[in-house]
Amino acid sequence: MNSIKQSGWKPEMGGVGESVPATYTGNKALMLEEALIFEIGTTETTGVDLADAPQVATRLGNLERHSDIGLPGLSEPETVRHYTRLSRQNYAIDLGFFPLGSCTMKHNPRLNEKVARMAGFADVHPLQPVETVQGALAVINELAVWLIQLTGMYGVAMTPKAGAHGELCGILCIKAALEARGDPRSVILVPESAHGTNPATAAFAGFLVENIPATSEGRVDLAVLKARLGPDVAGVMITNPNTCGLFERDMRAISDAVHAAGGYVYCDGANFNAIVGRVRPGDLGIDAMHINLHKTFSTPHGGGGPGSGPVVLSQALSPYGPLPFTERHADGNYTLVEEETAGERHPRSFGRMTAFHGQMGMFTRALAYIMSHGANGLRQVAEDAVLNANYILRSLEDVLEAPFAHSGPCMHEALFNDNGLAEGFSTLDIAKGLIDEGYHPMTVYFPLVVHGAMLIEPTETESKATLDQFIGALGRVAERAKAGDPSLKSAPHHAPRRRLDETQAARKPVLVWREPEQAVAAE
């Protein structure tokens, strides 16, 4: 990152073209150049005045600080402005269309936020006595009931904190079930079209991972899968709809084959937004599936999180699910079933995954979203998400190559590749060019089975007008790449920073602040 000293003018600041004069400050109109916080303040000053006070005994024992910690002192206005200016250089769903594929960056209705901030939800504490949090437990329980009904499953574990954590929960249930029957199976099969966390989760849980190839249509090769099944296969981890944006049409046949061979079926439910209200995974023979509340049910994603990944379980795996869980009694009261209270009712649980029950704020938002839509509304969510993705796919298939367009309609995301671009141009150039058009780039180079992949998920929350504008912008950038426009190789030109050396950033990241002279010496 370029830095600014108040006494120095740098003509290269601002990322402007040579024909445009640079500014003294580095600012571009209201896009303000921002120095590092170490360059704004100094370690010799503090942002507050502390009145002289008599020395009093502290409760820190021998942990009092005896030396400087090297943090800069800023006044309150300087601090607020610094972080506000940095936030203006960020992109968010509240600013515009966020086309990341596989991440489902959908709008979070403000109704959800209002409910989550209600007294009794926003200030609830996990260590409160159970009798004082009956409303919170009722929310968790009702959300659990909805998730079971929407998926057609038998039970649900609410404690996992996000997608990969949910995957681990499901795999640990499978492992516990195998151990309970004395079955030493050690292999998990993972298709090429699955999410990348799937093989990592299986390996983390102690399983060996083997790959199952995809067909030319981008779906699991059922024949290869069946041929590999055997007494050493614990199960399969499959993403449906998969990362190519396609529904696995053989899902029921896959489940039947795995079950016949003695294994279990884990489904990555990150893409449940495409089928909620339309398909119940339990009807497809799924044994465990995590649901990203921050994707399907609109709770904030990423930095606006935290995430939440409840895991629905089949009747075969429910006895092995984690503690704690909520229980509703005949008198209408709720309790948490934990280790000391599980007794004979849940003796085969593999134990706890977290210290506390779950992400209360995410539960509240998700339930508000579900109840405001209802079953029919959730069905429309899936239908509109699929409609929007197919609109983008068919609108751009004459400009960019869509490798699986011949496989029929896509589901929730449209997939393109970089075939047909001018020599020397790639997906990265198109992504950087989109930044100049005011868009966060789509997911690039994923899924790995497609060279130069561009994965776009519009979600149901975008209007046709928004999609038309994005289609026009992406189409324009793609045509420039096909024509070999040299200015595209140095894009973006209008962002706060020009194109970075991403290889160096990955291999030699600078993670610690040093004074300029120290940085030069370190190099």
- Measure Cα distances from 328 to 255, 333, 360, 413, 523 in Å: 32, 6, 18, 39, 63
Work out the number of other CB atoms within 10 angstroms of the CB of residue 247.
22
Q: What is the pLDDT of residue 418?
A: 96
Work out whether strand 311-313 and strand 325-328 pair parallel, antiparallel, or are unpaired: unpaired
Q: What is the pLDDT of residue 15?
A: 43
Q: What is the pLDDT of residue 63?
A: 81
Q: Which amino acid is at 260?
A: A
Q: Which amino acid is at 8?
A: G
Take residue 47 and report the two structure tokens written for it: 């942002």
Q: Contact at 8 Å (CB) between 187 and 210? A: yes
Q: How many CA atoms lie within 13 Å of 293's alpha carbon, on the beta-carbon side?
A: 38
Take residue 234 and report the two structure tokens written for it: 């614990």
Q: Contact at 8 Å (CB) between 241 and 248? A: yes
Q: Contact at 8 Å (CB) between 27 and 89? A: no
Alpha carbon 22 to chain centroid distance?
38
Q: Contact at 8 Å (CB) between 300 and 328? A: no
N- to C-terminal Cα separation, the chain? 16
The C-alpha angle 198, 457, 217, rounded to 5 degrees, equals 65
Work out the number of other CB atoms within 10 angstroms of the CB of residue 435.
20
- For 269-425, strand residue ranges (E) read 288-290, 311-313, 325-328, 334-337, 414-416
Take residue 210 and report the two structure tokens written for it: 């083997």
Return the residue matching tokens 């690039």.
444
Q: Which amino acid is at 406?
A: H
d(CA 510, CA 504): 10
Consecutive H or E run containing 8: none
Q: What is the pLDDT along the chain (523 residues), one digit of tens a residue?
A: 333 333 333 444 444 444 556 667 677 777 778 888 888 888 888 877 766 656 666 777 778 778 878 888 898 899 999 999 988 888 888 889 999 998 888 898 999 999 999 988 888 998 899 899 999 999 999 999 999 999 999 999 999 998 899 999 999 999 999 999 999 999 999 998 888 899 999 999 999 999 999 999 999 999 999 999 999 999 999 999 999 999 999 999 999 999 999 999 999 999 999 999 999 999 999 999 999 998 899 877 755 557 899 999 999 999 999 998 888 999 999 988 887 677 777 889 998 998 888 788 999 999 999 999 999 999 999 999 999 999 999 999 999 999 999 888 999 999 999 999 999 999 999 999 999 999 999 999 999 889 999 999 999 999 999 999 999 999 999 999 999 999 999 999 988 888 888 888 889 988 888 777 666 666 6
Radius of gyration of the chain (CA): 26
Domains annotated on the chain, with CATH: 111-123+131-367 (3.40.640.10), 376-507 (3.90.1150.10)
Q: At what angle do helices 464-483 and 427-436 cross, to 10 degrees?
A: 130
